Amino acid sequence: MSEHLCDSERCATYWPLPDVDLTDLTLFSQGFPHDVFTQLRQNDGVLYHPATPLTPDNEGFWVFTRYQDIVPLARDIDTFSSHRGGARTGGGTMIEDLPSAAGPGTVINMMDDPRHKALRRLMAPGITRGRIAALEPVLTVAARQAIVSALTKGEGDFVSDIAAELPLFAIAHLVGIPPEDRHPISGWINAVLDYADRQLGQSSASSQQGMQQFMAYAQRFVEQRRQAPGDDIVSLAIAGELSAELGSLTPMEQVMVFSVVMVAGLETTRNAIAGGILTFIQHPQQWLLLQREPVRMNRALEEILRWTSPTPYNRRTATRDVDVAGKRIKAGEKVTLWWASANRDEQQFENPFAFDICREKNAHLAFGSGGHSCLGAQLATLEMRVVFRELLNHIDTFALNGPVEWVRSNKHTGIRRMPLRYKGL
């Protein structure tokens, strides 16, 4: 690793693992580094990570690792902003500051109340329980087709053949994206979210190109919906009013509604599905148990979410000086909440390193917590249920058929490629 640059007196005091740099993506290139976070939790739940040569903005940040510290912090959305705080102009929910035009203040997950709450209310009717339930029959057909086709080949990349297909199908169906546009869109998003060829805070030719193509598409799509609105989540956001005082969404905010639904919904669910199958390969007794007793599906899905935690962390910015767990956090400082660490917290979960599809107490934080908790949780869970049910219905065993390639990112714990061999029932 990398030398830590002491940007304050906190450096020596609060960072117990001088050889560990959470902004070095290599640390995350084989999945989430649970061993590191177990050590961090044992040291202290609230730590200060100093800037290193790899840290974006050359600025340290707070690291919250324990369940009991993270939950109240996520709830206190006045003190811990998803937009910005202190003197900084940019902000957002990633370690690197994004400039205001690129998300903070304009996209729901990087917005503060009251605008955030009003936008959440505006989007919610586009993703109600009833609308999601209505997707189940078409999703089932799509999952069955993808699985039967993979089974016919006998082997293939589980990620592109199955895990990525269902979320793409579901979101595209929900938003009304024509079939021929779906794969180009997911390709652009992959290029933006995968740090294969760059460091945090940097862009590459492929990520820039992906972003430009995605945003150009988003703008065209929103314009079409302005001309001919439907009853989908994007049309609702364009046509509706936030409130009498707040008025309507700006044109940029409208584009960002399209953008967040696509970006938040594709990679995460793909990673939960692929990560779930890899976990079953590593814990074959649990797959056998689910095969024998499929009524355990609901608990199994919650356990897959806890175990895989596809979104490892989100950031906030302190809006005022505040004392938390004996530490003084200053206005404007970055604070990171590590959901994936909380999900293995020994103080919260019994035997957290056991993958147990019968786990009873499982209030995991895979979908976040507090005012910004995931708006797509029900949709994601339905997609997972449909895929795992269809896999149970068609596939007896599956095995790795080559090395697993992980996404190189500390923002998404994901699998880029996972070659599998299948045996049908």
The least CB distance from residue 347 to ligand HEM, in Å, is: 20
Q: For residues 50 and 105, which CB has a smaller minimum distance to ligand HEM in the complex? A: 105
Residues 171-190 that bind ligand HEM (CB under 6 A): none
**Terminus-to-terminus CA distance in the chain, angstroms?**
48
Q: Does 156 bind ligand HEM (CB under 6 A)?
A: no
**Measured distance CA(284)–CA(357) in Å, rounded:** 12
Cis peptide before 284 (omega within 30 of 0): no
Q: Which of residues 249-278 bind ligand HEM (CB under 6 A)?
A: 260-261, 264-265, 268-269, 272
Q: Site residues for ligand HEM, window 116-155 (CB under 6 A)?
A: 120, 127
54 binds ligand HEM (CB under 6 A): no
Distance CA(380)–CA(384), nearest Å, equals: 6
Return all residues near 26 (Cβ < 8 A) that are at least 6 apart. 408
306 lies in the site for ligand HEM, by CB under 6 A: no
Q: Are 311 and 270 in contact (CB under 8 A)?
A: no
Q: Is 103 in the site for ligand HEM (CB under 6 A)?
A: no
Is residue 108 a contact point for ligand HEM (CB under 6 A)?
yes
Number of residues this chain uses to bind ligand HEM (CB under 6 A): 27
Please identify, among the stretches 46-54, 222-230, 310-318, 415-423, the one whose residues bind ligand HEM according to the rule CB under 6 A: 310-318
Q: Are 170 and 383 in contact (CB under 8 A)?
A: yes
| 375 counts as binding ligand HEM under rule CB under 6 A | yes
Nearest approach, Cβ of residue 142 and ligand HEM (Å): 15
Give the residue ranges of DSSP H helices in 44-194. Answer: 67-75, 115-123, 129-153, 158, 165-175, 179-193
Position among 23, 81, 93, 319 found at the interface with ligand HEM (CB under 6 A):
93
- Which of 158, 217, 221, 367: binder of ligand HEM (CB under 6 A)? 367
Residue type, 397: T
Residue 142's alpha-carbon distances to 179, 243, 385, in angstroms, are 12, 39, 13
Residue nearer to ligand HEM on the CB measure, 195 or 258: 258
Name residues contacting ligand HEM, limited to 333-352 (CB under 6 A): 339
* Integer-rounded Cα radius of gyration of the chain: 21
Contact 114, 246 (CB under 8 A): yes
Report whether 410 contacts 36 (CB < 8 A).
no
Say whether residue 372 binds ligand HEM (CB under 6 A): yes
Residue among 46 and 387 whose Cβ is closer to ligand HEM: 387
Which residue lies nearer to ligand HEM by CB, 5 or 215? 215
What is the spatial distance between Cα 260 and Cα 214, in angstroms, rounded to a whole number? Answer: 12
Chain residues that interact with ligand HEM, rule: CB under 6 A: 82, 93, 108-109, 120, 127, 260-261, 264-265, 268-269, 272, 310-311, 314, 339, 366-368, 372-376, 379-380
